[in-house]
Amino acid sequence: MAEKEYIIPYSEDARKRHDHKTIRGKVVKFTVQLEVKYERNWKEVVRYDCAHGYAHRDSYNLLGKHTKEELYLSFEDALTLADDDIDDNWETYKHKFLEGDLP
């Protein structure tokens, strides 16, 4: 099993955490999430993963409540979507999270 894990800082208070595992080149587990520092703690804002056996996206609010959206994608496609979406939209997600606009 091959595993990749890394953190990409976007700013002093925003970062992407990426972790995925493959077997023979096929993604078997992944988590990609945007984290924002709020009151000196890193908080989840948007997380893509397959923790329940299917690819989905969780969106969090400041209180830690979240909504879950099933993606209906392969793990490989969901991993690509997650990386691209967070790279492209992290500033918008951060702003919405801090303003209380995420569920």
Average of pLDDT values for 68-87? Answer: 97
pLDDT one-digit tens code per residue, 25-38: 999 999 999 999 99
pTM for the model stands at 0.94
Name every residue whose Cβ is closer than 8 Å to that of residue 35 and which is 6 or more positions away in sequence.
Answer: 14, 15, 16, 17, 42, 43, 44, 45
Number of separate domains in the chain: 1
User: Considering the domain boundaries, does residue 91 fall inside one?
Assistant: no
User: Considering the domain boundaries, does residue 93 fall inside one?
Assistant: no
Domain that holds residue 32: 2-73
Q: Average pLDDT, whole number, for the chain?
A: 95
Model confidence band, residue 4 (pLDDT cutoffs 50, 70, 90)? very high
Q: Which of 32-36, 43-47, 85-89, 98-102 has the lowest mean pLDDT?
A: 98-102
User: Considering the domain boundaries, does residue 67 fall inside one?
Assistant: yes
User: Considering the domain boundaries, does residue 82 fall inside one?
Assistant: no
Q: Which helix (H) or strand (E) element contains residue 86?
A: helix 75-99
Model confidence band, residue 64 (pLDDT cutoffs 50, 70, 90)? confident
Q: Using CA atoms, how far apart are residues 23 and 70, in angstroms rounded to an integer?
A: 23
User: Considering the domain boundaries, does residue 64 fall inside one?
Assistant: yes
**One-letter amino acid of 6:** Y
DSSP 88: H
User: Considering the domain boundaries, does residue 54 fall inside one?
Assistant: yes
User: Considering the domain boundaries, does residue 89 fall inside one?
Assistant: no
